[in-house]
Amino acid sequence: MAAPPQENSAVRMSSPAGKWILLTTVLGSSMALLDSTVVNVALPRIGRDLDADLAGLQWTINAYMLTLAGLILLGGALGDRFGRRKVFVVGVVWFAAASLLCGLAPSAEVLVAARALQGIGGALLTPGSLALIQASFHPDDRARAVGLWSGFGGVGAAVGPFLGGWLVDGPGWRWVFLLNVPLALLCAPIALRHVPESKDDRVHGRGFDVLGAALGALALALVTYALIEAPSGSVPVVAVTATAGVAAGVAFVSVERRRADPMMPLSIFGSRQFTAVNLVTLCVYAAFGGFFFLSAVQLQVVSGYSALGAGTALLPTTVLMLLLSARSGELAGRIGPRIPLTVGPLLCAGGMLLMLRVGADASYVGDVLPAVLVLGLGMVTLVAPLTATVLASVDVGRAGLASGINNAAARAAGLVAVAALPLLVGMGEEAYRSADAFNDAFQRAMPLCAGVLVLGAVVAFATVRKPPPDCRRPECLTHGNVTAPPLEPTQARSRLE
């Protein structure tokens, strides 16, 4: 077996090593991204085969999102300490094993438990993929590498509904999960052979913030339970659970503030740029979570599409992400992230409002396609600059931490949206079995999702800035509190943009 490149070797994008690194990180992250979208198309069939109500379908999505969001910070910290490649590979193998259990699940309860295990694997591999790119590539190539990673990863997420529909209508919904096994068998050996190991030497000898991780996951779990159970559960139980969730969240912040080596050091939010982009992330991914949860069901239950037809309906977003994401990342590197992070959410909001035309017997060309095209253009404009700006706003040594925080924000936002939207729009437990009931709820949900995107655009326009390029003076390197060590002139533009 050939030896992997040396740590911190500044691999160039055009080299064979650079192409292997990109392929590996795309394969790994695509596994997690696929399962965050592909399952949506299978929900009606899963509900019918396993006799699950709406709450069961919500937990099928949210059990995965819960452990992913709650543990992804710990996954980033493990990678920074023990080696990002090592933890990435462990995550890939864990994810595949949990996927096999999902595919064999005999009941809704077992499926939900297996989905929670899947989220643990995702928490290990997801931050590692971005951190490997940031730590391995030459500074001049990082923006393009992140753009390509975002583009191909976005393709994985976007192709999920199409692939899921084909599997559901063909061999069955269980293959939605079983597909991850061969992907892992391809990804893990490539990573071990071709990807350089990297770690943050500053974290050796430190303990892990187990209490912080537990409190963060507990807060998300209790709040999610309260939101899902609110329509039909006992009012006192829901109230107590919600209160306990908020209390756990407050305790989490208190522990992170006082602990010497916290899982989520609050000092990282001293960067106004990092804080601002994470606020935008919360808005954007809350809307995306609600949209993808409801739209695939809307197309099947209300518009009469097959699972494959519903998945294919979203395919244009795949094409747009594939063709334009890398260029979007490069454009944001030249003009700064403010405009893309403002325009992108507005375009996505427009696409979701156009989905209001998608009802019974909806025409694909006249009703669905315009909405999907506008949404896809918004995602292209938004996703790569969002990711690149998060990583550029902190020191490279904290890449795993920054990636973990941003991913946690995205997953937590989607988690809360899937739990809260049915409650906010009055969707009953059996709504997905009735075309009229589901359509009424969908018509109320899309404006809410669009409104959250508009809020994200306002936050981006008001707070996100582009630091001055090619400047080594302290006031430049801390512009907007974006702190970093002194850089060579050739490195400054890539890091700060």
The burial class, CB within 10 Å (0-12 / 13-18 / 19+), for 97 is middle
Residue 100 has pLDDT above 90, yes or no: yes
Strand partners, 11: 137
Q: Which segments of 138-179 does DSSP mark as H helices, in order?
A: 142-169, 175-178
Query: Which residue shows structure tokens 């060309």?
Result: 365
Residue pLDDT, tens place only, 316-343: 887 787 788 778 877 877 888 889 999 9
Residue 5: band (very low, low, confident or very high) from pLDDT cuts 50, 70, 90: very low
Among 264, 29, 295, 52, CA closest to 154: 29
The burial class, CB within 10 Å (0-12 / 13-18 / 19+), for 128 is buried
Strand partners, 137: 11
Which residue has better confidence, 456 or 54? 456
> Are 320 and 374 within 8 A, CB to CB?
no
Rounded CA separation 224/416 (Å): 6
Q: What is the mean pLDDT of residues 425-429?
A: 83
> Are 96 and 47 within 8 A, CB to CB?
no
- Cα angle 236, 238, 243 (rounded to 5 degrees) comes to 95
Query: Which residue shows structure tokens 């919600």?
Result: 242
Kindly report the backbone phi and psi dihedral angles of residue 51, in degrees, each rounded to the nearest multiple of 5, phi listed first: 55, 50
> For residue 330, what pLDDT is reported?
78
Q: How far is CA 106 from the centre of its chain?
A: 28
Percent of the chain's residues with pLDDT above 70: 85
* CA dihedral for 318, 323, 325, 328, sign (positive or negative): negative
Q: What is the mean pLDDT of residues 12-23?
A: 78
Strand partners, 308: none
Provide the 8-state DSSP code for 13.
T
Rounded CA separation 293/182 (Å): 26
For residue 313 the two structure tokens come to: 């309906």
Query: Which residue shows structure tokens 């400054």?
Result: 492
> For residue 481, what pLDDT is reported?
31
> For residue 104, what pLDDT is reported?
94
Average pLDDT, the chain: 81
> For residue 140, what pLDDT is reported?
73
Burial state string for 140-170 with b = 16 or more CB within 10 A and e = fewer than 16: ebbbbbbbbbbbbbbbbbbbbbbbbbbbbbe
Among 425, 378, 400, 466, CA closest to 75: 400
Rounded CA separation 160/182 (Å): 16
Reduced to 3 states, what is the DSSP secondary structure of residue 479? Answer: helix
Residue pLDDT, tens place only, 121-170: 988 888 777 778 877 777 777 777 877 776 676 666 667 677 778 888 88
Rounded CA separation 112/92 (Å): 20
Residue 3 has pLDDT above 70, yes or no: no
Kindly report the backbone phi and psi dihedral angles of residue 9, in degrees, each rounded to the nearest multiple of 5, phi listed first: -85, 0
Distances (CA, A) of 396 to 71, 80, 156, 419, 425: 21, 11, 26, 35, 43
Highest mean pLDDT among 286-295, 426-435, 444-453: 444-453
CB-based contacts of 172: which residues, under 8 Å, 6+ apart? none
For residue 32 the two structure tokens come to: 């997690």
